[in-house]
Amino acid sequence: MRNEAAGFTGDSVESVSAAINRYAGQNEMEPVSVSICQEGAGSSAYFRGIAVFAPQYEEEEEGAEEAEY
Distance separating alpha carbons of residues 37 and 25, to the nearest angstrom: 23
Query: Exposed, middle or buried by CB within 10 Å (0-12, 13-18, 19+), for 67?
Result: exposed
Name 5's Cβ contacts closer than 8 Å, sequence gap at least 6. 50, 51, 52, 53
Rounded to two decimals, the pTM is 0.76
pLDDT at 41: 92
Residues of the chain with pLDDT under 50: none
Q: Within a domain: residue 61? A: no
**Sheet with 46-55, edge to edge strand ranges:** 4-10, 46-55, 29-39
Q: Within a domain: residue 53? A: no
Q: Within a domain: residue 63? A: no
Q: Which domain holds residue 21?
A: 1-33
Q: Within a domain: residue 43? A: no
If one counts the domains in the chain, the total is 1
pLDDT at 56: 82
